[in-house]
Amino acid sequence: MLLVLLSFVILLFSALLALCLGRNPDRAQDAGAYGAAAASVAGLIPSVHTLISGNTWSLSLPWPVPLGSFTLTLDPLAAFFLVPLFILTGLAAVYGVDYLRHYSGRKPLGLAWAAFNVLTASMALVFTAGNAVLFILGWELMAASSFLLVLFEHEKAQVRRAAFIYITAGGTGALCLLAAFSLLGSGSAVLDFGSFSVSPGGVASAVFLLALCGFGLKAGSIPFHVWLPEAHPAAPSHVSAVMSGIMIKTGVYGIIRVLGFLTPWQEWWGWTLLFIGAASSLLGALFSLAQHELKRVLAYSSIENVGIILLALGLGVIGVVSRAYPLAGLAFAGALLHVLNHSLFKGLLFMGAGSVLQGAGTAELDALGGLSKRMPGTATLFFAGSAAACALPPFNGFAGEFLIYIGAFRSVNASGAPALAGVIAGLSLACAGALAAAAFTRAGGTAFLGEPRTGRAAGAHEPGPLMLFSMRALALLCLLAGLASPFLLLPAARAVGSGFGPASGYAAAQTAAVPLIYISAGGLLLLAIIAMAAAKRRAFLGGKKPAVGATWDCGYAAPTPRMQYGASSFAQPLTDFFQPVLRKIGQYPVISEYFPGRASFSTEAQAVFYNSFYYPVAARIRDLAYRFSWIQHGRLQIYIMYIVVTLMGLLIWKL
C-alpha cells in the first residue's frame, strides 16, 4: 500500500517538475517520462503482490472534506486493473519520449507530461479509491487531464471539436455518477464504499441505470460511444494508447464495483448489459471496418472490445441470478482477462499507429501502403497486435474470449434464461470476431502491404528506438500473456471473488484451464516450428541475399499503386451488405461508354449515432439555451441585480 502511495507521490512530483521545466523541453520530457516509468515500477509491485497473495490492503488518512474520507483500498479487483494501468502507462511514457520529441519547441511539452502523469495518478486513484468523494475527485481529474491531452494539437479544428465532444460526454457521465453515488450513500454520513447499502428494488435499479449511463459514457459502449472515435485519434498516440487501453476500462471497473454494491441483482440488468455489449461489439467491429483512418479503426475496435467485456458481464449477471454459477464464473473471469488483454494489445496497436503517423506523416489508409518494407519493425509488431485483436492464439486476445465462449456453450445445455443468453452471446461474439478480423486484415493490409499510394508513404521511416522498445515490450507481453493464460485464471477468479462475483466461480474458471493449457502448448509448438523454419531458411541461404523482383502484375503494361485494392474496395462487399446500418456516403462512377474517361470514387464513413441522435438533441438544447441568451449580455449592473434579486428572494422565502 505504501508503494502505491509512493507511486502517487512520484507521479505528482514529476508532473510538477515537468511543468516547471517547461522552458527546457528535453528536461521536461525526462522528468515526466522517467517519473511515470518509476511510478509504474513502484505501483506494479504491490499490485502484483496483491493478485498473488489475494490479500486486501487498506489505508485511511485524515481528509476534512464533507462526506469524504481519504481511504485507499487495494483488493484483488483493483489490483487486476492496476497491473495493466501501470504496465501501459510506463511503456507509453517511454514511447512518448521519442514520439513527442518531434513537437519539441512547437508545443508545451512540460504541460503535456504534467497532464500525462496526472492522468496516470488519477486513474490509479479511481482504481484504489474507497470513498465516493475521492473516487469522483479522481474521475474528474482524469477527465480534465485527458481533455488537455486530447487538445494537444489544438490548432486543428477537428481536434477542438473532438475535445469539446469529449468534455461534454465526461461532464454528462460525472453528473450520472453523482446521482448514483448520492442514491447509494443516502443512508450514511460518509460516502465510503464499505458503507453503501441499497434496498433491493426500484432504487437499486435506478442506481444501476445511472451507473450504466455514467460509466458507459467513459467505457465508450454503444450508444454512449460518440466521443470515443473523435477523441482517441485526436490525442497524441501514446495518450491514445493509454486512453483506449486503460482509461475506458475505468468505466468497466466502475460498473463492476457498483454491481458489487447492489446485490442481489435483477435479471433484466444482465439482459441490459448483454444487449449493450452485443450491440457495441457488433457495431464497433462493423464501424471499424468502414473507417479510413488507422487510429479511428482502432478506436472503433476499442468499442467492440468494451462490448465484449460488457457482454460477458451481462452473461455473468444472468448466470448468478439464475444460479448458473459455472457460467457466471467463466463469464466474469473472461471479462476481466479481456480487460487485461485488450489493454496490452490495444496499447501496442495505437503505438503502432503512432509510428505510422510519425513515419509517414499521415494515418489515412488511402495514403499509405507498402510500409512493411519501409518500417519492418513496426509492421511486424502491428501484425502481432492485430493477431491478438483478432483473438488468434498464441496471442493473448484469445484467452478471455475463449472463456466467454466456453461459458456460453456450456449454458446452452441448461434451460431458461442462461441458455438464451448463451446463444445470443455466442452468436454476437462470433459475428463480431469475424468482422474484427476483416477490419484488421483491411487496416493492416492497406497500410503495410502492397505499394505506397503516395509519396509520403514511400518516404516513411522507422520510429525512434524508444518507441520500438515500448512496442516490442508490449508485443512480448501479448505473447506471454497468451501463452501463460492458464496461470492468469487464478488472479482473475480472485478478483471476481473479491469484488462482486460468486466465490464458487473459481472452480468453474479452473475447468477452462485444461483446454487453455492445450492451446498454449499448441502455440508453443507453432512458435517452435516457426523458429525452426526460420533457422532452416538461414541455413539454406547461407549468407546469400535472395533476389528481389517485381510482383507479377497480371500482364498489365504499366501498373500503378492506384490499381491496388484500397481501403474502400477491400471492405466493399461487407460494407455494402451492412449499408442500412453504416449509411456511408459514397460517390461511385457510372460507366456508360465503351471507353470511359476520368472517373473518381470516394466513400465516407458516417458517425451514425452522432448524426442521427446526438447532434439533433444537442442542437435542440443549444437552441433552447440561445432563447435564454438575453440573460447573459455582459452588463455588470444587471448581473449584480440577479444576485440581489436572488438574495432578496431567499430572504423573503425564509421570512
Partner 1 sequence: MHTFAELIIVLIILLDLALAVTGSLSSCIRLVALQGVVAGLLPLLAGAPHPRALLFAAVIVTLKGAVFPWLLMRARDQSGARKDVEPLISYPASIALCIGAFIASSWMGSRLPLPETQVAWIVPASLATIFTGFLLITTRSKAITQVLGYLVIENGIYIFGLALFVEQPMMVELAILLDVFVAVFVMGIAIFHISREFDHIDTAELSELSDWRRAGDAK
| Residue whose CB is less far from partner 1, 552 or 626 | 626
> Can you give the length of the chain in residues?
655
User: Least distance in Å: CB of 654 to partner 1?
Assistant: 10
Straight-line distance from the first to the last Cα atom of the chain, in angstroms, rounded to the nearest whole number: 53
Question: Which residue stretch of 79-87, 316-324, 363-371, 634-642 sits at the interface with partner 1 (rule: CB under 8 A)?
Answer: 634-642
Q: Which of residues 548 and 651 has its CB atom nearest to partner 1 in the complex?
A: 651
CB of 107 to partner 1, least distance (A): 25
Q: How far is the CB of 649 from partner 1 (least distance, A)?
A: 12
**590-629 residues labelled b (16+ CB within 10 A) or e (exposed):** eeeeeeeeeeeeebebebbbbeeebeeeeeeeeeeeeeee
By CB under 8 A, is residue 634 in contact with partner 1? yes
The stretch among 258-266, 441-449, 462-470, 633-641 that binds partner 1 (CB under 8 A) is 633-641
Task: Tell me if 544 contacts partner 1 by CB under 8 A.
Answer: no
**Least distance from C-beta 158 to partner 1, angstroms?**
19
Neighbours of 157 (CB within 10 A): 8
Rounded (10°) CA dihedral 174, 178, 183, 184: 80
Q: How far is CA 81 from CA 44, 63, 397, 457, in A?
A: 11, 25, 16, 37
Residue 627 CB, nearest approach to partner 1 (Å) = 11
DSSP 614: I
State the minimum distance, in angstroms, from the CB of residue 638 to partner 1. Answer: 7
Closest to partner 1 by CB, 544 vs 654, is: 654
Q: How far is the CB of 637 from partner 1 (least distance, A)?
A: 5
Report the amino acid identity of residue 425.
A
Rounded least distance, CB 630 to partner 1, Å: 10
Identified binder of partner 1 from the candidate list 189, 539, 557, 655, rule CB under 8 A: 655
652 binds partner 1 (CB under 8 A): yes
**Contacts of partner 1 in 394-423 (CB under 8 A):** none
CB 500 within 8 A of CB 327: no
Q: Of 183, 18, 156, 163, give the one whose Cα is nearest residue 97.
A: 18
Residue 541 grid coordinates: 541461404
Q: With respect to partner 1, which residue has the nearer C-beta, 545 or 654?
A: 654
551 or 629: CB nearest partner 1: 629
Contact range with partner 1 by CB under 8 A, out of 19-27, 332-340, 351-359, 629-637: 629-637
What would the grid cell of residue 246 be? 486503460
Using the rule CB under 8 A, which residue among 413, 560, 592, 637 binds partner 1? 637
**DSSP string of 46-100?**
HHHHHHHH---EEEEE----TT--EEEEE-HHHHHHHHHHHHHHHHHHHHHHHHH
Least distance to partner 1, CB of residue 620, Å = 16
At closest approach, how far in Å is the CB of 652 from partner 1? 7
> Is residue 504 involved in binding partner 1 (CB under 8 A)?
no
Q: Based on the shown chain and the rule CB under 8 A, indicate whether residue 635 belongs to the binding site for partner 1.
A: yes
User: What is the DSSP track for 545-561?
Assistant: PPP--PPP-TT-SS--G
Q: Could you say whether residue 55 binds partner 1 (CB under 8 A)?
A: no
Instruction: Establish if 650 lies at the interface with partner 1 (CB under 8 A).
Output: no
Half-sphere exposure of 376 (CA within 13 A, CB side): 1
The smaller minimum CB distance to partner 1, of residues 600 and 629, is found at 629
Counting Cα atoms < 13 Å in the Cβ hemisphere of 101 gives 16
Site membership for partner 1, residue 628 (CB under 8 A): no
157 is a contact residue toward partner 1 (CB under 8 A): no
**In the complex, what is the shortest distance from the CB of residue 175 to partner 1, in angstroms, rounded to a whole number?**
22
Beta pairing class for 70-74 and 602-604: unpaired
- State in angstroms the smallest separation of the CB of 631 from partner 1: 11
Size of the site for partner 1 (CB under 8 A): 15
Contact flag: residue 632 with partner 1 (CB under 8 A): yes
Which residues face 526 on adjacent strands? none
Which residue, 487 or 639, has its beta carbon nearer to partner 1?
639
In the three-class reduction of DSSP (H, G, I as helix; E, B as strand; rest coil), residue 584 is classed as coil
595 vs 653 by CB, closer to partner 1: 653
Segment interacting with partner 1 (CB under 8 A) among 77-85, 458-466, 520-528, 628-636: 628-636
Separation in Å, CA 335 to CA 307, 456, 562, 632: 10, 41, 42, 49
Least distance (Å) between residue 162 CB and partner 1: 20
Report the alpha-carbon distance of residue 488 to residue 494 in Å, rounded: 10
By C-alpha distance, which of 141, 150, 1 is closest to 82? 1
**Cβ 623 to partner 1, closest distance in Å?**
11
Single-letter amino acid, residue 201: G
Among 644, 646, 649, 650, binds partner 1 (CB under 8 A): 644
Least Cβ distance, residue 636 to partner 1 (angstroms) = 5
Q: Find, among 408, 406, 401, the residue nearest to 422 by Cα.
A: 408
Identified binder of partner 1 from the candidate list 199, 551, 600, 629, rule CB under 8 A = 629
Nearer to partner 1, 557 or 652 (CB): 652
> Which of 641, 646, 649, 650 contacts partner 1 by CB under 8 A?
641
- Pick the piece of the chain touching partner 1 (CB under 8 A) from 29-37, 304-312, 487-495, 647-655: 647-655
The distance of closest approach from Cβ of residue 650 to partner 1 in the complex, given in angstroms and rounded to an integer, is 12
The one segment of 40-48, 368-376, 387-395, 639-647 that binds partner 1 by CB under 8 A: 639-647
In angstroms, rounded to a whole number, what is the distance separating the alpha carbons of residues 494 and 506? 7
Task: Kindly tell me which residue out of 640, 646, 649, 650 binds partner 1, with binding defined by CB under 8 A.
Answer: 640
Q: How many Å apart are CA 250 and CA 228, to the nearest integer?
A: 14
Output 624 or 652, the one with its CB closest to partner 1. Answer: 652
- The count of other CB atoms within 10 Å of the CB of residue 487 is 13
Pick between residue 541 and residue 644 the one whose CB is nearest to partner 1.
644
The answer to whether residue 633 forms part of the interface with partner 1 (CB under 8 A) is yes
Contact criterion met (CB below 8 Å) for 132 and 193: yes
Instruction: Write down the least CB distance from residue 273 to partner 1, Å.
Output: 40
Distance CA 161, CA 451 (A): 34
H or E segment and range at residue 143: helix 132-150
Point out which residues pair with 489 in neighbouring strands: none
Is position 636 an interface residue for partner 1 (rule: CB under 8 A)? yes
Give the orientation angle of helix 397-413 with respect to helix 294-321, to 10 degrees.
30
Q: In which element (H, E) is residue 437 found?
A: helix 417-448
Binding mask 588-627 for partner 1 (x = CB under 8 A): --------------------------------------x-
Q: Give residues in contact with partner 1 (CB under 8 A).
A: 626, 629, 632-638, 640-641, 644, 651-652, 655
